[in-house]
Structure 1
Amino acid sequence: MRHANFDEPASLTAAYTGCTSLFLVSSPRVAMDYNEAPLWQGREAHHRAAIDAALSVGVKHIYYTSLGFANPTRAGVMRAHVRTEQYLKEVEGARKCRVTVIREGLYNQSWPLYFGYYFQLKEDGRREVLVAGDGPVPWTSIEDLAYGTARVLSEDGEKWAGKTFYLCQSKSWTLRDIARMVSRVRGEEVAVKVVDRKTYEDFYVAEMGMERPSVEWWSSTYDALKDGECAVDDPTLERMLQEVGRRPKPLEETIEEMMR
């Protein structure tokens, strides 16, 4: 086990010494992206530090976990990923190392975040949930994504070098679909109300006690949903699962488990 910190370049270099490949999971410090963070002041700064450290010790292949939105995007949550993808493209173009970008589908388990911060689950008493937009999403379970990602990492790097692809299932659900699933589990109707971004932001700040920079950053996600950014068609993950006799875990199954 080696310790490394995005904010301490020397620790990254020490951790990567002797490695031939780097699996770079995006930084969880999303607050860096708030307030329309300029280039290299958002999470991409962490990613660049990791990439530069890897290159300095001779890493030959970098696998990066991006997110299942489009590039270009309207989603603030995707901005750091877009910037990181561009940096990796430059690294690859300069023949410094091989690059693979894995755009991980939106987790089944993350639906409460998109569904009006529905984190209290069965304890949430709202009968109407405000969102700032809706659109199809091929929600994909963490377990299925873990399998697909592990397959990519375990196979010959040449197979995936230079590729950008999505790992997600083929079936999509909207937030209105999620409302119907939640209603069925609760035994009472829970509806979705689509409002403009300003109304959404003001409500969750004033009524739910959320921090405005966080809500303003997150509300742009709904512009991306409305634009169909997540409505991707990539069979990569389902092919992997089929090869071992598995099918993607349905979103409704995850919702039922979480709402018990």
Structure 2
Amino acid sequence: MTDFANSPLLVTGASGNLGRLAVEELLARGATRIIAGTRDPSKLSDLAAKGVDIRKVDFNDPASLPAAFAGVERLLIVSTDGIGTRVAQQTAAVDAAKAAGVKHIVYTSAPAARPDADAGLNPEHFWTEIAIAASGLDFTILRNHMYAENNLTDLPQAVASGQLFGLIGDRGTSYVTRADAARAAAGALLLAQGKTLEDVTGPAPVTNLERAAITSELTGKPVAVIPLTPADLKAGMVAAGLPEGFAEALLAFQRDAVTGHHGVVTNVVERYSGRKPQAFADFLAANRAALQG
């Protein structure tokens, strides 16, 4: 593969969890012209001290983006947290990248991105993918599967209650750590060519039964899986205080686990990072204390 380590490489959202990890990976791999984009440059003073060029990049200010992207050859767009607005934000970024002469876009998307009305947050990723493809630029779409870190939100509750709720027929989720996803994104920025769409996954799908068993073993507390229908699961989430829209988005992820969309396994992490992705059980073991709530 061609190595673009000496090309101008820009990472957006660089003050966020994934973006910062991607910049640090680029530094570790010897990239010489790293640009970190953020809405608040003051948050990246430590990276500036390491020779990273810090630029203000605000997707909510499209007129500023061509200048922010000036001189950039390869661009990593880390999907924003602007649910409901990020299609407009990210499409503006794609348009600005093309206008600025960017040659290759890497985008962090989601598994099974599609326009279906019941696909949760996936339509936003799908329409961003369409905008990137329509730009005529080379691209690498990285469909990041569910982050392993998300388990540190619901599993402590399961440990406390002894119950893990999920949909009937769960076929597993190939959880990937945020660090592995960031390393893959950095690797794609350094190495990828052409036009590709790839799933970024952990090493194996993990079912709710397996999640419960691993959690129980690590904590010494019994955790039983309670399989529910979609209507009952959503009702339970709303009754627990989740906004209906957020509950529907979480339900969409679980529906995709039932249909098998989340059980895909690829070698993308290893191919772009040179390291095998961390196994789910190893991730939980490393975060055992967090499971106790």
Query: TM-score band, normalised by the shorter chain?
Result: 0.7 to 0.9
Kindly tell me: are residues 232 and 59 of structure 1, through their superposed partners in 2, closer, same or farther at Cα, counting changes over 3 Å?
same
Q: Return the alpha-carbon distance in structure 2 between the equivalents of residues 69 and 259 of structure 1.
A: 30
**Match of 2:230?**
197
Give % identity: 25
Kindly tell me: are residues 70 and 5 of structure 1, through their superposed partners in 2, closer, same or farther at Cα, counting changes over 3 Å?
closer
Q: How far apart are residue 50 of structure 1 and its match?
A: 0.9
**Match of 1:108?**
148
- 1:210-249 maps to which residues of 2 (within 5 A)? 210-240=242-272, 244=274, 246-249=275-278
Q: How far apart are residue 235 of structure 1 and its match?
A: 2.3
| 1:132-179 per-position Cα deviation (integer Å, ceiling 9, x unaligned) | 352222212222222222222112xxx522111122233221122111
Letter paired with 1:215: A
Matched, 1:6 2:59: yes
Matched, 1:176 2:209: yes
Q: 2:160 aligns with which of 125, 130, 136?
A: 125
Letter paired with 2:280: L
Matched, 1:98 2:135: no
- 1:142-161 maps to which residues of 2 (within 5 A)? 142-155=178-191, 159-161=192-194
Matched, 1:187 2:212: no
Letter paired with 1:170: P
Kindly tell me: are residues 194 and 237 of structure 1, through their superposed partners in 2, closer, same or farther at Cα, counting changes over 3 Å?
same
Matched, 1:139 2:175: yes
Q: Return the alpha-carbon distance in structure 2 between the equivalents of residues 146 and 204 of structure 1.
A: 30
Asked if the contact 1:75/1:222 (under 8 Å) is kept, the reply is: no
Kindly tell me: are residues 27 and 50 of structure 1, through their superposed partners in 2, closer, same or farther at Cα, counting changes over 3 Å?
same
Aligned residues: 234
Asked if the contact 2:115/2:127 (under 8 Å) is kept, the reply is: no
Which TM-score applies when normalising by structure 2? Answer: 0.72
**TM-align CA RMSD:** 2.3
Q: Return the alpha-carbon distance in structure 1 between the equivalents of residues 134 and 220 of structure 2.
A: 53
Kindly tell me: are residues 180 and 79 of structure 1, through their superposed partners in 2, closer, same or farther at Cα, counting changes over 3 Å?
same
Which TM-score applies when normalising by structure 1? Answer: 0.81
Asked if the contact 2:159/2:216 (under 8 Å) is kept, the reply is: no
Q: Return the alpha-carbon distance in structure 2 between the equivalents of residues 220 and 21 of structure 1.
A: 33
Asked if the contact 1:44/1:80 (under 8 Å) is kept, the reply is: yes
Q: How far apart are residue 10 of structure 1 and its match?
A: 1.8
Q: Return the alpha-carbon distance in structure 1 between the equivalents of residues 271 and 106 of structure 2.
A: 20
**Match of 1:37?**
none
Q: Which has the higher contact order (CA 8 A, sep 6+)?
A: 1
Q: 1:79 aligns with which of 104, 123, 129?
A: 123
Letter paired with 2:103: K
